[in-house]
Structure 1
Amino acid sequence: MELERHEYDVVVVGAGGAGLRAAIAASENGARTAVVCKSLLGKAHTVMAEGGIAAAMGNTWPEDNWRVHFRDTMRGGKMLNHWRMAQLHAQEAPDRVLELEDWGALFDRTPDGLISQRDFGGHRYARLAHVGDRTGLELLRTLQQRTVALGIDVYMECTVTRLLRDDETVTGAFGYWRESGRFVVWQAPSVVLATGGIGKAYKVTSNSWEYTGDGHSLALQAGASLVNMEFVQFHPTGMVWPPSVRGLLVTESVRGDGGILRNSAGNRFMFDYIPDYFRKETAESEEEADRWYTDKTNNRRPPELLPRDEVARAINSEVKAGRGTEHGGVWLDIASRRPAEYIRKRLPSMYHQFKELADVDITREAMEIGPTCHYVMGGVEVDPDTQESRLPGLFAAGEVAGGMHGSNRLGGNSLSDLLVFGRRAGLAAAEHAAKLAGARVEVAEAALADAAAAALAPFDRDGGENPYAVQQDLQSTMHDLVGIIRTRAEMAQALERIAVLKGRVANLSVEGHRQYNPGWHLALDLPHLLLVSECIARAALEREESRGGHTRDDFPAADDAWAHLNLVLDLPADADAVRVTRQPLPQMPGDLAELLES
């Protein structure tokens, strides 16, 4: 078998913010490091995180600090977050932002020269360090330059199809070059997964083509566990029209900078959806909300800046009640709120996006928007301090890791999450490899042959299933039956369809050659999408309450019996389905618990 081989101390799968930050940390700590990515360096989905990096730097509000950020994060996640991850994230985020600045990131500035910080939903204070509405792009550009300067090897346009392991630990990864189809193996004692999310399991999503849940699936199949998979975040504001861009992200910065939501009757409806949990700090009239933008002394924020799960459900309710727009969304209006020059300066990407793709001038017209599958709070279950999974030598960071966000992620916490825990994963991966220094990692030839045979199987079948037809049916199943609002009957039906789809996925066939063959690439992605979809549906069926990104129409309220339970999923050997286990949350120290009462 023709096989390209490489040996490293640390292999990072994924070249977004989490992957590059992990690779930098590993390399700077003496590990021979490689990065493997599906796309080209600099093209990762991190560029779509536009609004800013959440970090309690206190540049706009001196009262802000890590304790308030910790409290906001825990409350946003409805207390299902792993407290230690939320603590580390809040404490270390400011240093990670300043580190980016030291490496050349060019942030917007306050009048006195500090890094500017903007408002976002669920954050008590303005704390998002930003670069217009292109923050993710600047973050990725900065990390990319650092990666290149350190001489880290990057394998671009490569896809990992299997993690390799022995009886005890990870031994590397197997994959192929997307252009040629040639197989390649990376032998390493430490592997860091930084593969992002699962959005392509859904029909309407803000996610790019890379987000096929492969990291979640690879980890599960290798013996790691997943946590919080029932919690899928539907961003409140994705483009609705035209159909070619349906789901494309409209940054929360539009609302953070003054944009408001109106239904088809012109009513500012979010005042009707303020939950009791946030009533003390949310304005309850238009006059009070509008005054907040100029006089923030009482900090009663507009209801448009409630956490994303609350806003998405409100929009969904308005549309279902017949108060939606012609194309099934609502209106997001900043044109009547801010001068055109201000909008073009603060939201240059949004201005360009709507002008070019929808022929809408957002300085003059409202945007037609609606919820879009955006982020999965669930991921690989990891140790908070090291990001190591249950499988020794396997680490995860960023969206592919679970626990940090609980049942709902606050906007801006994704970029600081990937910086904080990407660094921690890289450090721990390098340390793990150093402990094994001198011991060559061995990979069983039989395992390589099996991985190659599995990858080539679609070419060996004639007249099998078309990958694109199967993908369409899977996306429709998840969109229709495991979407924003869920019921037992619909999720049971989804699992029945997934069982049928398993047989169809096992019978996929593709034509042509291995050289850049999109049909083959999709055929290899579909088993990952299917496994992740099953995890989401089974966990969502098990959790009989509504909390954060999980809403059950048949159990519409949060249930105290579920308030301290996470759902963990694993894949027992030779099992036909994933296993769901209820697991108590770790006990929070008293001094942190007191912060949540303030």
Structure 2
Amino acid sequence: MDRYEKYEHDVLIIGTGGAGLRAAIEASAAGVSVGVVCRSLLGKAHTVMAEGGVAASLANVDERDGWKVHFTDTMRGGQYLNNWRMAELHARESPDRVRELEAWGALFDRTKDGRILQRNFGGHKYPRLAHVGDRTGLEMIRTLQDHGIHQGLSIYQECTITALIKNEDRVIGAFAYDREKGKFKVFQAKSVVLSTGGMGRIYKITSNSWDCTGSGISLAYHAGAELIDMEFVQFHPTGMVWPPSVRGLLITEGVRGEGGVLRNSENSRFMFNDIPDLYRNQTSDNEDEGWRYTQGDREAKRPPELLTRDHVARCIVREVKEGRGSPHGGVFLDIAWIKDKIPNAAAHIKRKLPSMYHQFKELANIDITREPMEVGPTTHYIMGGIRVDADTQMTSINGLFAAGECAAGLHGANRLGGNSLSDLLVFGKRAGEYAAGFARENEMVQVQEHQVEELAAEALAPFEKGPENPFQIQGDLQVMMQDLVGIIRSESGLSKALEGIGKLWERAKNAGSGGNRSYNPGWHTALELKHMLTVAEAIARAAKERQESRGGHYREDYTGKSEAFGQVNITVRKQENGTMNVEQIPIKPIRDDLMQTIQEMK
């Protein structure tokens, strides 16, 4: 076969978003050799698109907040399908991780007395999101990157992993290619951490960047790891809908957190028409008052625009379907109305939401300090992913760990805004810590030459194939997933999607790329189809299995919640014959003290 470059590290981190960088920092601090692989350039991770803030119960704005309240909010938001141990660890450890980030140089917005400022966000009982304007993810990446580069990390940029390499039941490395020249690389490692992010690019309308194809989830699946909760995809309520070139681009929930309201074409705040019974107590019809939690929230007045994301997204879809949408198929998000409430409102908006002001001014010629934005749901996040141990983040495969969006369990059926960034910090740290521990306790296992030859042949196969265009297959998949496995699903639609995915698998076998291995996006896309189709099939099969509506999963043929399905998670695993096995597994009973905490918070 062609020559390849070989690298050896105790711990290999795949992905350089918040979870990957935090894992790399922790593993390096443990004194082991760490290699970090990113398919783009360092600092370009999708984490920068997380704008609103990082959720942590610092209680700087409201002293009633605490880890127990955060834990309960997370469990309720996830419809109690969450891994409760992960939710506990996340709620307990998030404040320390945020203070740690601050100590490393993160420049958070401040209260008048100098503490980290926190804002309201959907599903959170109290103001809980520490933020840096609307650029929190960017500040997190900047801080972790600046801290991490001094830890002795070996970083491999513009490098894509195509497969994990195993020895019996243990991962021992990974096979990759250089995106610029197409040269092959083999990484040998004692342990591997996957932190590759999400899969939004399998849908037509998405807030995700080009590299969010679900590759890490697919890599783990094909290596034999178990996936969980794949049916739960979050459609963020507010993406741009105009102009078409930026359709789906994220509009941070921070706009609503700072007072933005949703209106339909009749100028009505339609969210007041659909407040779940859970929140109905003490609700006021006065738009200025908003609604209150039933848990006796004495002072905090909460607009219905800050209900959970799945609920808001479905309400927007309803308005559009019933003919009350905006001219371009969305609804209106208005932050300009606060000019009647706040002195110098325009300056306030620009200070609090600088990225949003710039984004709409430059891309849509709209001044959000003067006029409303047109918004609509966009594929944003997957709650499902690789099943991991709550404490260690190890997958069902020895030596393979996962953290961040590609891992699953914390969020259950629906993720609360802001929990993603604290998820990256809490479980990125844990993954790095335990991956380093595994590396210290186990010997290096050599990658065999025949393994490299097989993977190289598979990677080069598109140059021998044809005539299918990989870009066309990708486009057809995106349209089909948007139409049939999107916000609203049905038995017939999911069956049709699975049939279509099967046909796309056949077409992908003949997906070819011309030219050579240098600067060849057609080749890259042909290799990526395996990951995209794998994740798409897992989502569709899990969605078909769950015959109810819950969180981010809505079935128009099963509109209510099922008590039976409320007791199980759905797992997906690759069988020996290569087919996908879907199984329901019982949720472990929640620990008594945590159940008591939930009851107390109610």
Q: TM-score, normalised by structure 1?
A: 0.98
Question: Which residue is 1:62 aligned to?
Answer: 63
Question: Which residue is 1:312 aligned to?
Answer: 313
Letter aligned with residue 222 of structure 2: Q
- 1:43 offset after TM fit, Å? 0.4
Letter aligned with residue 402 of structure 2: A
**How far apart are the structure 2 equivalents of 1:348 and 1:593?**
41
Letter aligned with residue 360 of structure 1: I
Cα-to-partner distance string for 1:113-138 (whole Å, 9 max, x where unaligned): 00000000000000100000000000
Does 2:448 align with 1:448? no
Does 2:171 align with 1:165? no
SS at match of 2:302: coil
Question: Which residue is 2:342 aligned to?
Answer: none
Q: 1:587 aligns with which of 583, 586, 589?
A: 589
- 1:531 offset after TM fit, Å? 0.4
- 1:300 offset after TM fit, Å? 4.1
Question: Which residue is 2:422 aligned to?
Answer: 416
**How far apart are the structure 2 equivalents of 1:41 and 1:16?**
9
- 1:291 offset after TM fit, Å? 11
Does 2:477 align with 1:471? no
**How far apart are the structure 2 equivalents of 1:455 and 1:278?**
53
Question: Which residue is 1:348 aligned to?
Answer: 354
Letter aligned with residue 203 of structure 2: Y
Contact between 2:282 and 2:292, CA under 8 Å: does it hold in 1? no
SS at match of 1:188: strand
Contact between 1:281 and 1:300, CA under 8 Å: does it hold in 2? no
Q: 2:557 aligns with which of 554, 557, 571?
A: 554
- 1:288 offset after TM fit, Å? 1.8
**How far apart are the structure 2 equivalents of 1:416 and 1:61?**
19
SS at match of 1:443: coil
**How far apart are the structure 1 equivalents of 2:448 and 2:76?**
47
SS at match of 2:337: coil
Contact between 1:495 and 1:538, CA under 8 Å: does it hold in 2? yes
Relative distance call for 1:79 and 1:5 in structure 2 (3 A) is same
Contact between 2:292 and 2:300, CA under 8 Å: does it hold in 1? no
Contact between 1:282 and 1:303, CA under 8 Å: does it hold in 2? no
Contact between 1:281 and 1:299, CA under 8 Å: does it hold in 2? no
**How far apart are the structure 2 equivalents of 1:84 and 1:426?**
18
SS at match of 2:280: helix
Question: Which residue is 1:578 aligned to?
Answer: 580
Cα-to-partner distance string for 1:205-231 (whole Å, 9 max, x where unaligned): 000001011000000000101000000
Cα-to-partner distance string for 1:277-308 (whole Å, 9 max, x where unaligned): 2323765431322999xxx8433411000010
Does 2:333 align with 1:327? no
TM alignment of 1:358-377, pairs within 5 A: 358-377=364-383
Does 2:87 align with 1:86? yes
Letter aligned with residue 484 of structure 1: I
Relative distance call for 1:235 and 1:435 in structure 2 (3 A) is same
Cα-to-partner distance string for 1:153-211 (whole Å, 9 max, x where unaligned): 11000000000001120100100000000000110010000000010000000000010
Contact between 1:193 and 1:397, CA under 8 Å: does it hold in 2? yes
SS at match of 1:368: strand
- 1:442 offset after TM fit, Å? 1.1
Does 2:395 align with 1:392? no
Contact between 1:271 and 1:285, CA under 8 Å: does it hold in 2? no
Letter aligned with residue 555 of structure 1: Y
- 1:273 offset after TM fit, Å? 1.3
Does 2:526 align with 1:520? no
Relative distance call for 1:21 and 1:291 in structure 2 (3 A) is closer
- 1:141 offset after TM fit, Å? 0.2
Which segment is superposed worse, 582-591 or 121-130?
582-591
Equivalences, count: 591
**How far apart are the structure 2 equivalents of 1:83 and 1:491?**
30
SS at match of 2:316: helix
Question: Which residue is 1:480 aligned to?
Answer: 483
TM alignment of 1:120-139, pairs within 5 A: 120-139=121-140
**How far apart are the structure 1 equivalents of 2:356 and 2:468?**
40
**How far apart are the structure 2 equivalents of 1:46 and 1:266?**
34
Cα-to-partner distance string for 1:65-95 (whole Å, 9 max, x where unaligned): 0000000000000100000000000000000
SS at match of 2:564: helix
| Cα RMSD (Å) | 1.2
Question: Which residue is 1:197 aligned to?
Answer: 198
Q: 1:429 aligns with which of 427, 435, 458?
A: 435
**How far apart are the structure 1 equivalents of 2:495 and 2:85?**
35
Contact between 1:282 and 1:300, CA under 8 Å: does it hold in 2? no
- 1:573 offset after TM fit, Å? 1.5
Does 2:454 align with 1:460? no
Letter aligned with residue 353 of structure 2: L
- 1:587 offset after TM fit, Å? 1.4
Which segment is superposed worse, 19-28 or 268-277?
268-277
Letter aligned with residue 587 of structure 2: L
Contact between 2:279 and 2:291, CA under 8 Å: does it hold in 1? no
Cα-to-partner distance string for 1:37-75 (whole Å, 9 max, x where unaligned): 010000000000000000000000011000000000000
Relative distance call for 1:445 and 1:49 in structure 2 (3 A) is same
Contact between 1:281 and 1:301, CA under 8 Å: does it hold in 2? no
**How far apart are the structure 2 equivalents of 1:168 and 1:400?**
21
Contact between 2:271 and 2:312, CA under 8 Å: does it hold in 1? yes
**How far apart are the structure 2 equivalents of 1:510 and 1:554?**
41
TM alignment of 1:534-549, pairs within 5 A: 534-549=537-552
Question: Which residue is 2:572 aligned to?
Answer: 569
Contact between 2:279 and 2:292, CA under 8 Å: does it hold in 1? no
Q: Which runs of 4+ in 1 moved over 4 A?
A: 281-284
**How far apart are the structure 1 equivalents of 2:456 and 2:502?**
25
For structure 2, the residue ranges without an aligned partner over 5 or more in a row are: 340-344
**How far apart are the structure 1 equivalents of 2:201 and 2:452?**
28
Question: Which residue is 1:103 aligned to?
Answer: 104
- 1:441 offset after TM fit, Å? 1.8
**How far apart are the structure 2 equivalents of 1:490 and 1:281?**
40
**How far apart are the structure 2 equivalents of 1:537 and 1:351?**
37
**How far apart are the structure 2 equivalents of 1:16 and 1:403?**
19
Letter aligned with residue 305 of structure 1: L
Letter aligned with residue 216 of structure 1: I
**How far apart are the structure 1 equivalents of 2:474 and 2:112?**
50
**How far apart are the structure 1 equivalents of 2:512 and 2:556?**
39
Question: Which residue is 1:337 aligned to?
Answer: 338
- Percent of aligned pairs sharing the same letter: 59
SS at match of 1:189: strand
Cα-to-partner distance string for 1:435-490 (whole Å, 9 max, x where unaligned): 01xx33211211111111111000012x4210111011100110000000000000
- 1:409 offset after TM fit, Å? 0.2
- 1:396 offset after TM fit, Å? 0.3
Relative distance call for 1:273 and 1:184 in structure 2 (3 A) is same
**How far apart are the structure 1 equivalents of 2:433 and 2:588?**
24
Contact between 2:281 and 2:292, CA under 8 Å: does it hold in 1? no
TM alignment of 1:294-313, pairs within 5 A: 297-313=298-314
Does 2:77 align with 1:76? yes
Cα-to-partner distance string for 1:323-348 (whole Å, 9 max, x where unaligned): 10111000000001241011000000
**How far apart are the structure 1 equivalents of 2:471 and 2:495?**
24
Question: Which residue is 1:235 aligned to?
Answer: 236
**How far apart are the structure 1 equivalents of 2:561 and 2:307?**
18
